[in-house]
Structure 1
Amino acid sequence: MSKKDEFIFGFKKAIPITMGYIPMGIGYAALAIKAGLTPLQTVGFSILVYAGAGEIIAVTMLLNGATAFAIILTNFVVNLRYFVMNVCVYNKVQKTSPLLNALSCHLTTDESFAMFSLMDESSIWTYVGLSLTSWLSWILGAAIGVFVLDLLPVIVTNSFNISLYALFVAILIPNVKKNYRIGLLVIITGIINIILQTIIGNWSIIVSTLLGALIGVYLINDAYFLTDDGGIK
C-alpha cells in the first residue's frame, strides 16, 4: 500500500476510538469548566496535553485546590506509561525516522496503542492515521462539551466518562475471542495494578504495565508469531 492508503487504513481503524473519545471529551469539558477553566483553556488543554485520564485528574485536582506543582508531578507519574507505549510502537513500525517518531509520539494514548498493538499492520503511516484521528476526535469532544454544557443535565455530562471503559471492552472483546490469553493477560495486569496501588500509588500504572508486558511475552508468545515483514499472525 502507498503511504496515503496506509494512512486511510489507520483512519478507518480509529473510528471505534472516536465513538468513545467524543462523549468522553464532553465529560472532561464539563469537569474543566466546573474547575474554572475557560472554554479556550479547556480545548487548548486537550490540544497540548492530550491525556484523557491525565486531563481529568488535573481538572479534578484543580477543582479541589491543588497546587500547579502537585498537578504537574501527578500527571508526570501517571503519564510515564506513554514512554513504555511509544517504545513498543516504534519497535514495531518499519521505515520510519526519528523526526516522524518525535512528531507522532504526542498522539499516543492507551486506546491507540492497544488498537495498533493488536493489528497485523506495522506501518508508521497507519499508526499516524489511527492516532491523529483519535486526537482530533478528543479535541472535537472537548469543543462540543464547552458549547452544549449548559444545555445538558449534569448527570448526563458526567455519565459520558463511562464511555472510556466501554471503548476498552469494544477493543478487547474481538481479540479475546481469537485468543483467550489476551483477556487473561488483561485480568492479570489489572489485578497487579490494584495490588500495587495500595503500595506505591500512581507508580503502580507504570510497574503493572511493565510486569504485564513481561508476563505477556511468555503467556502469548506461542500463540502469535512474527512474520517476515514484522507483522503478527
Structure 2
Amino acid sequence: MSQYFNKQVFKAAWPICFGYIPLGVACGILGQKVGMDAFLMAMMSIFLFAGSGQFIALAMIGANTAIIPIIVTVGIVNLRHMLYGLILNQYISKESFLYRLIYAQEIVDETFAVNSVEFQKSNSKWTPKNAFGLNFVAHMGWVLATVAGVLLGSAIYIDTGLVSYALIAMFIGLWSFHFKTFKLVAVGVLGGILALVLSLWLDNMLNVVVATIVAAIVGAMVDNGDEVDKK
C-alpha cells in the first residue's frame, strides 16, 4: 500500500483536495437544492467524477431535463478526458487492464495536470502506482466535499456563482506548475485566448476541447522546429 499512498503522493495531492473543498461543497449544495440526499450525491460523485460535468448534470436535473440530453451533454463536455487518457497512456501502458480501467475513471483536469507534470520531471521517481494513489486521494476528497455540501446545504447559504471564480483560481494554480519556460507559458496563454474566442461560436465546452488541441499542436510544432534547428 505504501507504493500507492506515501508522502510523495499526499504532497502532490493536497493542492487538489484543498481546491476541491469550496468547489465540492458548492456542488453538494446545488445537489441538495435539486433534491439529492447524501447517499445519492456520494454515488454521483463516485461514478461521475467530472467536476464541471457534474455541475452541468445537476443543473439539468434541476431543470427537469430528460436523461438522454443529460448524458449526451456531459459526454461532450468531458470529451477532453479522452485526450488526457491518450497522453497518460504512455506512462501506464504496461499496467494490467483492471488498473487502466479504474485509472481511466479517475482522470480529471486536476489529476491529469499533476500526473503529467510528475511523470515528465527529470529523473522522475513517479510511478503508475503513485499516479493511481494520487487519483484515488483526489477522488475521495471530491466525494467527501460534495457530501459535506449536501449536509450543509440546508443550514448555510453559499452563492454558487462563486464556484466559477474558485474553479479558475484552482486551474491557474495547477497551470503554475508549467511556469518553467516561455514556450510553456505561451502555449497556455494561447489555449486560453483561443478558448475565449471560440466560445463565441462553440457551446457545451467544445471551445475548451478545440482550444486545447490546437494549442497542443502549435506547441508540438514549435518543439519539433527547435529540434530541427539544433540538428
TM-score strictly above 0.5: yes
- Report the counterpart of residue 88 of structure 1 in structure 2: 87
Kept in 2: contact 1:95–1:124 (CA 8 A) = no
Output one character per residue of 1:126-166: Cα deviation in whole Å (capped at 9) or x when no partner.
Answer: 211111111000001011111122232233x6535532222
Distance, in Å, in 1 between the alignment partners of 2:15 and 2:196 is 27
Q: Return the alpha-carbon distance in structure 2 between the equivalents of residues 201 and 16 of structure 1.
A: 30
CA distance in 2, matches of 1:95, 1:146: 40
Question: Retained in 1: the 8 A contact 2:117–2:177?
Answer: no
- 2:175 pairs, out of 160, 172, 176, with 172
Letter in 1 for 2:149: G
Structure 2 distance, partners of 1:126, 1:216, is 28
Give the fraction of aligned pairs with identical amino acids, expressed as a percent: 26
Specify the alignment match of 2:199 in structure 1.
197
> Does residue 33 of the first structure (1) align with residue 32 of the second (2)?
yes
CA distance in structure 2 between the partners assigned to 1:114 and 1:223 by the alignment: 24
Task: State the secondary structure of the residue aligned to 1:10.
Answer: helix
Distance 1:158 1:27, change over 3 A: farther
Instruction: Check conservation: 1:54, 1:75, Cα contact below 8 A.
Output: yes
Task: Give how far 1:34 is off.
Answer: 1.2
Q: Partners of 1:24 and 1:215 in 2: how far apart?
A: 32
Of residues 144, 163, 187, the one that matches 2:189 is 187
Shift of 1:174: 4.3
Partners of 1:6 and 1:211 lie apart in 2 by 34
CA contact (8 A) 1:27 1:158 kept: no
For 1:201 and 1:182, the matched residues in 2 are separated by 27
Distance 1:222 1:135, change over 3 A: farther
Residue aligning to 2:64: 65
Q: Deviations over 1:24-77 (max 9, x none)?
A: 110001111112223322221101111110000111122223221111110011
1:90-139 CA-to-partner distances (Å, cap 9, x unmatched) read: 11346423321112110001011011112224521121111111100000
Q: Which runs of 5+ in 1 are unaligned?
A: 225-233
Alpha carbons of structure 1 residues 19 and 221: separation in structure 2 relative to 1, 3 Å: farther
Instruction: Quote the residue 2:127 is aligned against.
Output: 123
Q: CA deviation at 1:6?
A: 5.9
Matched residue type, 1:111: E
Q: Call closer, same or farther: CA 1:144–1:185 in 2, change over 3 Å.
A: same
Q: 1:11 and 1:141 mapped to 2: Cα distance? A: 17
- Which amino acid counterpart does residue 65 of structure 1 have in structure 2? N
**Equivalent of 1:152 in 149, 152, 156:** 156
- Cα gap change, 1:222/1:171 in structure 2, threshold over 3 Å: closer, same or farther? farther
Evaluate the alpha carbon distance shift between residue 179 and residue 95 of structure 1 in structure 2; reply closer, same or farther with a 3 A threshold. Answer: same
- Report the secondary structure of 1:54's partner residue: helix
CA contact (8 A) 1:12 1:130 kept: no
How much has 1:222 moved relative to structure 2?
A: 8.2
CA distance in 2, matches of 1:113, 1:13: 12
Q: What's the RMSD between the two structures over aligned residues?
A: 2.4
Cα distance between partner residues in 1 of 2:105 and 2:25? 21
**How many residues are matched?**
220
Pick closer, same or farther for the CA change 1:212–1:97 going to 2, 3 Å: farther
Task: State the AA in 2 paired with 1:90.
Answer: N
Q: Is the 8 A contact 1:10 1:125 kept in 2?
A: no
> What residue in structure 1 maps to residue 50 of structure 2?
51
SS at match of 2:74: helix
Deviates more, 1:122-131 or 1:195-204: 195-204
